[in-house]
Structure 1
């Protein structure tokens, strides 16, 4: 043991310091292999996963997500005070929070940041259309007045609406200054993004829960290295070049597990796979035929073909997974083992004329392709004719925008903090899920002001989704990453984060 480490250990023991506080003294570096180079560090402009992963260490939002994906305070001092009519939100700010440039967080920084977010971010623009005013209430609170109730407000304030000093705000950011546990030191495109511990960081209180709770900047430095090739990430992890490697192929699990330098990490319910149906044109404009598709399919067989091992997937009819606040069995129908005979009866009753279903998938996501192969077999067993069209992902995303070109396409999504922000159930997403009963159910949700009312409204929305059959949820998939032996405190989350993580000695 080095002398300096021995002294720290002795002092900590004498003071009764916790192991987490002791770990604060680390001079270690965490080297993180990411899936690629971030296009920007301006997360308001480009809220992609890679940008969110890095930026969450630099910037913070008023609210963040706990383990149930409920929005809880981060820079806010508590949950908002909401007026009886549900239109006015008063949000107090935590005191004593500093930016990386040494300035103090105040209400002016929040209003300036949120105004920028509402001007340039896609979800921010949605919120802006509903905001009557955004004002400061003294130095340590802001007030948002809405034109109409908007239940997803806190969820949208929990992602990408980062707070920065008002003096640093510009159309194009030149300085990336936040309140997070790490500050940006240097970025060399295609080489690394280097973050260093912010010594004056003020952590929120509370038990660690997903992104919520206490945050400790234990590592002195975090270095994010873009490594687009998955096999290179695997080799670098095993060789000791990386302390963490993101998004590894499931086929690498055993190899990493067998190494003496690293261990694989499974993040449960990283996302869900779905088959989206065209409700605007073509064969599946008939609800009865969409329901026949649901009855015909076997989700377990499709997910097993896609992921080979049940360690890497789960089958669950609820659109949200069990750990989520939004998990519910409400309305579940036509989901299970696949019943070709029952599906055939629905086909006959709907007057199916033998027109082939155009099923689009891509091999760039190999699991999409494998799901498509099994789906084709089950649909044909029920009596459908199927035209399986295998195209590259760019072609698929272009073609799915044209309702004349397809009947079903396969995709995947993450689980957002608010159910009404799921792409696949919005009116304008390819598939064009528009129905009167959905509109009524969503309107009820938007009026909700409590978690209990939102949950009841979401139960009703899921019930409508199963009846309208705009999509077929195939199943939930897990993500594989890897962490070097000796690195402690890492807990998997959708956007991997490295506060509370101790580097290897």
Structure 2
């Protein structure tokens, strides 16, 4: 789906009154999320829309501030033994779940254990853990087999597969099975009776939530809820979403479509701002389990043929800032060098690229590219890739679907003739992949890792070494070594870094700049 196709008929749509209009309610925040919420369990999936849902319903022991430093959240504090091998975390008093039950250390232990089986940083931490224990109802004890300095960084990590705390009875669910009952201790309750997949999600303020006393600071601090209700209205068509915002039928459009941003410049009732400072990274993900991209030489040959500008222009047009980033981590953060520049920033030579594809052993196998037609910031990526692969002489099968279907299908490890896949595209917020343990795109965890199941024992060894590194110089060497491994074997192709916009009614104030639409602190003036 090209941007021009996506916006066909936009003028007529803007004049029409969408069928999603609701009576104005001053204490209800009406938001259009980035896409439909299909998976509810924020520990089971990396989908950003599910993480946003998670931040409304659940809370964490520690959270990061605007400098990405861990701060106590549900915890009141911690202590560490002299040898660094025993951590004890003390819970704040008065914490309750939405079902009225008190939050206990046993709930936190079960939640951390389940999270550590799903998250890449959690899996790294788990290799150092001898035991997760509840010393008493308010004390979590973590006994390590050797010191692990970034323990708080792991359990405070933001954005994707967050270490959210759930009741023990839910957290004991198998890590590979998605939880559907939503009981957290966060500032809002999920209203299951109002949930209509693909249409509507609703939350009510949790009266039993006691925020921290300090001001909100990114993911940390006092999570004060100023709205009684939050309603998500799923509007896949960007023109309809823009019309709803301009007509005051919704308050907030999480990701404003680039081509429609100029409309808001002439509307004093709408304010447009950059989502956050670190931006997003678009990626192409290969399935490393099934042919033909179980061949790392073929993946690397495709990577060498990519021009990031093609992808960034297709998604962002002229109204969103973007830049090339020839790195496997976000550009502009500590330790990240553009080590792929020598491969990715060369003038494109399709003849040479076709020769590299043949030399890598490609034999005409069908290449299934899954593409979410209902996701405007991802759908153009699949179109660009399909066009490129055809130019490279590959047998491309571009399959359009909705994001919910893609999210389910990407879990399949079957071959393409049995319903499997070869490529899909996505994006991540930069804050979620800022170090080797966090970056699940390039972790080499194989069958235990992220969809695509890239395996690289050397990357895993280097990640463990990073967690033990004592100096910045040691960390730099490890960052560079991991990037070199990733560019040689290409588990993903980075497609560029960009800084999308969010749009809301002008009377919506105090939004915390973050890549997830945080439901606290924001209010109506």
TM-score scaled by length of structure 1: 0.74
Supply the distance in 1 between the matched residues of 2:452 and 2:57 (Cα, whole angstroms). Answer: 37
Q: Secondary structure of 1:143's match?
A: strand
- Equivalent residue for 1:320? 329
- Equivalent residue for 1:189? 195
User: Does 1:334 pair with 2:346?
Assistant: no
Equivalent pair of 2:289/2:453 in contact (CA under 8 Å): yes
- Equivalent residue for 2:304? 295
Query: 1:390, CA displacement in angstroms?
Result: 1.2
Q: Secondary structure of 1:420's match?
A: coil
Supply the distance in 2 between the matched residues of 1:453 and 1:204 (Cα, whole angstroms). Answer: 38
User: Does 1:500 pair with 2:521?
Assistant: yes
Indicate which of 473, 481, 501 corresponds to 1:460.
Answer: 481
User: Does 1:243 pair with 2:245?
Assistant: no
5+ residue gaps, structure 2, are 1-25, 174-178
Indicate which of 118, 142, 145 corresponds to 2:113.
Answer: 118
Supply the distance in 1 between the matched residues of 2:287 and 2:182 (Cα, whole angstroms). Answer: 44
Q: Secondary structure of 2:203's match?
A: strand
Supply the distance in 1 between the matched residues of 2:520 and 2:118 (Cα, whole angstroms). Answer: 27
Indicate which of 111, 136, 140 corresponds to 1:142.
Answer: 140
CA RMSD of aligned residues (A): 4.5
Q: Secondary structure of 1:392's match?
A: strand
Post-superposition Cα deviations, 1:279-338, rounded to whole Å, max 9, x if no partner, equal 556566665554443333321233223432262533212233245456444575412143
- Equivalent residue for 2:10? none
Supply the distance in 2 between the matched residues of 1:351 and 1:185 (Cα, whole angstroms). Answer: 56
1:192-231 equivalences under 5 Å are 192-196=201-205, 198=207, 201-203=210-212, 205=214, 208=217, 210-217=218-225, 219-231=226-238
From the superposition, tell whether residues 175 and 491 of structure 1 become closer, same or farther in structure 2 (CA, over 3 Å): closer
From the superposition, tell whether residues 431 and 343 of structure 1 become closer, same or farther in structure 2 (CA, over 3 Å): farther
Supply the distance in 2 between the matched residues of 1:187 and 1:211 (Cα, whole angstroms). Answer: 28
1:98-497 equivalences under 5 Å are 98-99=95-96, 109-116=104-111, 118-119=113-114, 122-123=117-118, 126=123, 131-137=129-135, 140-147=138-145, 153-158=151-156, 159-163=161-165, 176=183, 178=185, 180-182=186-188, 188-190=194-196, 192-196=201-205, 198=207, 201-203=210-212, 205=214, 208=217, 210-217=218-225, 219-231=226-238, 232-268=240-276, 271-277=280-286, 289-309=298-318, 311-322=320-331, 324=333, 327-329=336-338, 333-340=342-349, 343=352, 347=356, 351=359, 355-356=363-364, 359-363=367-371, 364=373, 365-373=378-386, 375-376=388-389, 380=391, 384-393=392-401, 394=405, 397=409, 401-402=413-414, 409-414=423-428, 415=430, 416=432, 419-425=436-442, 426=444, 427-428=446-447, 429=450, 431-448=452-469, 457-497=478-518
Q: Secondary structure of 2:320's match?
A: helix
What number of residue pairs does the alignment pair up?
466
Post-superposition Cα deviations, 1:473-494, rounded to whole Å, max 9, x if no partner, equal 1112444432101111113322
Supply the distance in 2 between the matched residues of 1:248 and 1:302 (Cα, whole angstroms). Answer: 18
Query: 1:423, CA displacement in angstroms?
Result: 4.0
- Equivalent residue for 1:63? 62
From the superposition, tell whether residues 224 and 368 of structure 1 become closer, same or farther in structure 2 (CA, over 3 Å): same
Q: Secondary structure of 1:272's match?
A: strand
From the superposition, tell whether residues 69 and 419 of structure 1 become closer, same or farther in structure 2 (CA, over 3 Å): farther
Supply the distance in 2 between the matched residues of 1:201 and 1:497 (Cα, whole angstroms). Answer: 17
Equivalent pair of 2:336/2:479 in contact (CA under 8 Å): no
Query: 1:391, CA displacement in angstroms?
Result: 1.1
